[in-house]
Structure 1
Amino acid sequence: MSASFRELLKKVGSGPHTGKNLTRAEAATATELILKQEATPAQIGAFLIAHRIKRPTSEELAGMLDAYDQFGGKIPPLTEETAYPVTVFGVPYDARSRTAPVFPITLLLLASLGVPVILQGGDCMPTKYGLPYVDIWEGLGINYRSLTLEDNHKLLSETGIAFYYLPKHFPQAQKLVPYRDEIGKRPPFATLELIWSPYAGEANLISGFVHPPTEDRFREVFDLRPMKKLITVKGLEGSCDLARNRTGIIGVREQDQEFQRLNLHPEHYGFAGRDVLLESKEQLIQDLQSVIEGKPGELMSAAIWNGGAYLYLMGICADLSQGLAQAEELIKNGKIADKLRELQIQVTTNLGSGSKN
């Protein structure tokens, strides 16, 4: 048993009257002891559920991120200057179980315009047990599971799309996944993952969220840690995919600038509609392939809406209308299909990992 961890556990687990928040340094120490498995399983489980009930403060999240930076592997920084900053997308690692992700199309679109993008996640994970993004990419012919951090560095440099795969790139954090199932709730690390950058260089960060207090904490963490730009998205199931059946709520915070709130109304641009349900992996891959081939459909509308919104948010287009028009053109003229083929060739030929359909 770790005596030092027990003292930290007592602080967060003593209840609303006598419990105390951890300092940033204490939160970093607690996370280190958990990642190194120096705390016992009983201590780790107790800490995770107590911290969830208490809710992590922004200072605690900053300390946890400090520990992740110290112990987690990171994709090496690009050596050549890019037209746009590297952008990391923070999405729930337990993925989506109700709505169909259109996010791979968005990443292909951004990469086709010179925006280097990084997505992160793992395998099927509690508590949602949604369809992992790594499985979706495999369905599109890209096996990210076998790639090293150096492989992803090369992919990011040459194709603009990298994937940080938790089991391979951060095994210490992967060992905490069973706790999610055993406690039956998302632990504070699930919040941490939405705002952690697995890139060793400076990057913009786009984080999905569901509940407004989470976004508030993200904004406070921005003030505590070096970040160039933070974009928060109230997306489908906490992802970065914008819904079509409600207003898109976006927050933008840049260094030395005030927080900005953007409300994107799909009905104002002719894109209101139902959000496509996730029926099966096979159906989703088929629908994504149809979008890539430029065929019409409900997922096509979602792809254009999301693609246009991100072209606007990333500063590629001056306004949302222009972003939507350019997104539609890029998808329907084959640019997305070209980017996917480029990615497939790089992975299967130059990195030798093979593809899996």
Structure 2
Amino acid sequence: MSTVFRGLLQKVGSGAHTNKILSRSEAATALDLMLTQQATPAQIGAFLIAHRIRRPTAEELAGMLDVYQCYGPQLTPIAAAYPTLVMGVPYDGRSRTLPLAPLTALVLAAAGCPVIHHGAGVMPTKYGIPLVQMWEHLDVNWRSLSLGAVQEVFARTNLGFIYVPRLFPLVTTLFPYREQIGKRPPLATLELMWCPYAGESILAMGYVHPPTEGLIRGALALHQVPRYLLVKGLEGSPDLPRDRTAIIGTQQPGQDYDRLFLSVQDYELSKTNAPLDATANLGLELVSVLEGNDTELARSVIWNSGFYLWQGGVCGDMATGMALAKELLVSNKALDQLIAVQAAIQRVSGSLG
């Protein structure tokens, strides 16, 4: 048992009127002791559920993010015309709407805008479809790649994926606790903010509950992150919804935090999200979009990609971004990007074998 951790647990786990907020360094110490298993399972479980009930602070999340940045892998900068978009997508996946991130990433990469995803496999509490599985429906397997191999693919194709169980196994020691306590711990918010890239980037994160927006903003301010996007997106992801007005917070260097409100009706789209149909052949559905076919999923991808092409600096406004996204799909340039990623992974896998 860690007596140091016991003291931190006592601060977090006391009653409503007696609990104490951890300092940034104390929160970092708590996470470090949990990741390195110096805290016992009983201590870890108690801390995670107590921290969820009490709710974290921005300073505590900033301290925990310090630990992720200390231990976590990072891709090194590549030459690119635009900042790299790092997408913080909930690790427990999607269960109702189809994830747009892989198709969006292919569209952006085809336009010269690099994209990095990160995540794990199927996880509690939602047990939804994770990004790594979505990529596998496109015949792209990131799970076995070393960090060096991912770096090479990223440099060649503008696309990278940090598969956490392979490249950041230390954090996976805490994954089973999510199932055991039956709730997302505050670590789930931490994962959204993590940036496994050492170059100029734009963090794009999703959220559901309004208080989460404030927590993330506060933590990133303490980390002096100059540029990011916060999207009240589909199932907590940074995918823009179509069935309601998309609410997006934008932080630009040297500017005040601002909000955008985007409605599909202003861009002649229907208010229909692409559903996640378990009976469909998902791979064919995804490839159909890349072949330029006009489907509801394709319209969602154009809506989502247009926004990120605009915010990434490729286009000057949303309408121009959507037009470019459609062109990249219809011309099969996004499909060519997928083929390039498949070939790059085959090349690095062959050299490793």
TM-score, reference length from structure 1: 0.96
Aligned residue runs from structure 1 range 53-92, under 5 A: 53-75=53-75, 77-78=76-77, 80-92=78-90
Q: Does 1:160 align with 2:143?
A: no
Q: Which of 88, 94, 97 in structure 1 is aligned with 2:95?
A: 97
Other-structure match for 2:144: 146
1:122 equivalent among 113, 120, 123:
120
Is residue 38 of structure 1 aligned with residue 6 of structure 2? no
Which amino acid letter does the alignment assign opposite residue 238 of structure 1?
G
For the residue of structure 2 that corresponds to 1:96, the secondary structure is coil
What are the Cα deviations for residues 284-328 of structure 1, in whole angstroms up to 9, with x where unaligned? 322111101111211111111111111112121111111111111
Give a deviation string over 1:256-281, Cα, whole Å, max 9, x none.
21011001111111113221221228
Correspondence for 1:253: 251
Matched with 2:181 is 183
SS at match of 1:87: strand
Indicate conservation of the 8 Å contact 2:83/2:312, yes or no: no
Counterpart in 2 of 1:51?
51
Q: Is the 8 A contact 1:100 1:284 kept in 2?
A: no
**Partner deviation per Cα, 1:17-53 (whole Å, 9 max, x = no partner):** 0001100000000000000000000000000000001
Percentage identity across paired residues of the two chains: 51
Determine the C-alpha separation between the residues in 2 that align with 1:182 and 1:353: 40
CA drift of 1:353 comes to 8.5
The equivalent residue for 2:314 is 316
What letter is aligned with 2:285?
Answer: D
CA distance in 1, matches of 2:79, 2:279: 37
**2: CA distance, partners of 1:195 / 1:305:** 24
- How far apart, CA to CA, are the structure 2 residues paired with 1:353 and 1:15? 57
Contact residue 108 and residue 309 of structure 2 kept, 8 A: yes
The CA deviation at 1:155 is 1.4
| Number of aligned positions between the proteins | 352
Unaligned runs of 5+ in 2: none
Check conservation: 1:219, 1:253, Cα contact below 8 A: no
From 301, 326, 336, the equivalent of 1:338 is 336
Secondary structure at 1:241 match in 2:
coil
Q: Does 2:277 align with 1:279? A: yes
Per-residue Cα deviation, 1:1-30 (whole angstroms, up to 9, x for no partner): 100000000001102100011000000000
The answer for unaligned runs of 5 or more in structure 1 is none
Tell me, in whole angstroms, the C-alpha distance in 2 between the residues paired with 1:3 and 1:339: 53
Aligned to 1:8: 8
Q: Distance in 2 between matches of 1:84 and 1:297?
A: 29
Separation in 2, partners of 1:36, 1:352: 34
Q: Which letter does structure 2 place at the counterpart of 1:233?
A: V
Cα 1:353–1:306 change in 2 (3 A) is: farther
- Say whether the 8 Å CA contact 2:149–2:348 is kept in structure 1: no
- The answer on whether the counterparts of 2:137 and 2:282 sit within 8 Å (CA) in structure 1 is no
- 1:217 corresponds, among 215, 218, 221, to 215
Deviation at 1:86, TM superposition (A): 1.7
Task: Return the letter of the residue paired with 2:199.
Answer: G
Please state how far the C-alpha of 1:282 moved relative to its aligned partner: 5.2
Task: Quote the Cα distance in structure 1 between the aligned partners of 2:67 and 2:247.
Answer: 30
TM-score (normalizing by structure 2): 0.97
